Amino acid sequence: MNLTIVSGPPSSGKTSIILKTIDAFQRRGLSVGVVKFDCLHTDDDLRYKKAGIPVKKGLSGALCPDHFFASNIEDVVEWGKREGLNLLITESAGLCNRCSPYLMGIKGICVIDNLSGINTPKKIGPMLKSADIVVITKGDIVSQAEREVFASRVSTVNPRAMVLHVNGLSGQGAYELSTLLYDETQNLESVQGMKLRFPMPSAMCSYCLGETRIGESFQLGNTKKMVWEEDET
């Protein structure tokens, strides 16, 4: 089995491009399954099911979805093997700009869209910076110039990544993407012992632990304050 980890900001087009890419695999007779990680709610599983794709979902609830991912990926891989998949794709809603789900040695894809604004690549951190492939979507609704500016910002943040333009609606570029995701010679038995590409922050503050009251005396553990500099005029 092959494994690919897909992440990216909300509504960037992850499900759309995964569906189009799986189309290309199905025509080659390969079986692909998906596991969707999200925080509070997702209907993505229904979209995959409708397309006849084996799917599972995991909701992290109170936890950062990427932390939740790291604690569950082993079982997810076991499921994929039980299902007899050729390729297992995980889709994570990149809700935390500080974390990323990529593992060393496993293909990591960041999906980001042209509409998110040219300062987005700078903002989203490890999710973009440590991906192997960056897929840029929604090129159909912006100009060629904006696509070029956006792509150049992306590769400034992540110069090593391969940058691909894929249209989540028409599927243009999805076939091409599919050729990068499956390697016949790769056979993943387990992810046990693999390492995250980027360490997740370990900090916990009192609010993480259920505190609801506001005020200095309730703040324990790792708290951080904004710096208030007086304007020098």
Partner 1 sequence: MKQQTIGALINEYPFIIDFFQQNRLDVSGHENTTFAAFLAKLGEEELEDKAIDIQNLPGELESYITQMSDFLGIEKTNVVQSLIILPGQDKNGQAEDFEQLEIFPSQIVSIVGPTGSGKSRLLADIEWAAQGDTPTGRSIRINRSVPDSKWRYSPNNKLVAQLSQNMNFVMDISAGEFVKLHAESRMVQNPDEIAKEILESANRLAGEPFSSDTAVTNLSGGQSRALMIADTAILSSSPIVLIDEIENAGIDRRKALELLVSQDKIVLMATHDPLLALMADRRIVIRNGGIHAVLQTTPEEKDLLTDLDKIDAVMQNARQMLRMGDTLRREEIFA
Ligand X SMILES: Nc1nc2c(ncn2[C@@H]2O[C@H](COP(=O)(O)OP(=O)(O)OP(=O)(O)O)[C@@H](O)[C@H]2O)c(=O)[nH]1
Tell whether residue 167 is a contact of ligand X (CB under 6 A): yes
Q: Which residues in the 2-31 window bind ligand X by CB under 6 A?
A: 8, 10-16
Q: Interface residues for Mg ion in 1-20 (CB under 5 A)?
A: 14-15
Q: What is the binding site for partner 1 (CB under 8 A)? A: 27, 98, 114-115, 117-118, 121-122, 125-126, 129-130, 139-146, 148-149, 151-163, 170, 172-173, 175-176, 179, 198, 201, 203
User: Distances from the Cα of 146 to the Cαs of 87, 110, 119, 155, 176, in angstroms?
Assistant: 34, 19, 12, 14, 22
Contact between 56 and Mg ion (CB under 5 A)?
A: no
For residue 114, the minimal CB distance to Mg ion (Å) is 17
CA distances in angstroms from 30 to 22, 85, 167, 190, listed in the order given? 9, 8, 22, 20
Q: Which is nearer to Mg ion, 23 or 211 (CB)?
A: 23
The region of 38-46, 101-109, 156-164, 194-202 touching Mg ion under the rule CB under 5 A is: 38-46
**Among 3, 37, 44, 191, interactor with Mg ion by CB under 5 A:** 44
Instruction: Please give the full DSSP string across 59-120, using - where no structure is assigned.
Output: E-TTS-HHHHHHHHHHHHHHHHHHTT-SEEEEEEE---TT----BTTSEEEEEEEGGG-TTH
Smallest separation (angstroms) from partner 1 to the CB of 42: 25
Tell me which of 5, 39, 99, 109 binds Zn ion, using CB under 5 A: 99
Residue 49 contact partner, candidates Zn ion, partner 1, ligand X, none, CB within 5 to 8 A by sort of partner: none
- Report the C-alpha gap between 7 and 94 in whole angstroms: 6
Q: Which residues bind Mg ion (CB under 5 A)?
A: 14-15, 44
Q: Which residues bind ligand X (CB under 6 A)?
A: 8, 10-16, 44, 93, 137-138, 140-141, 167-169
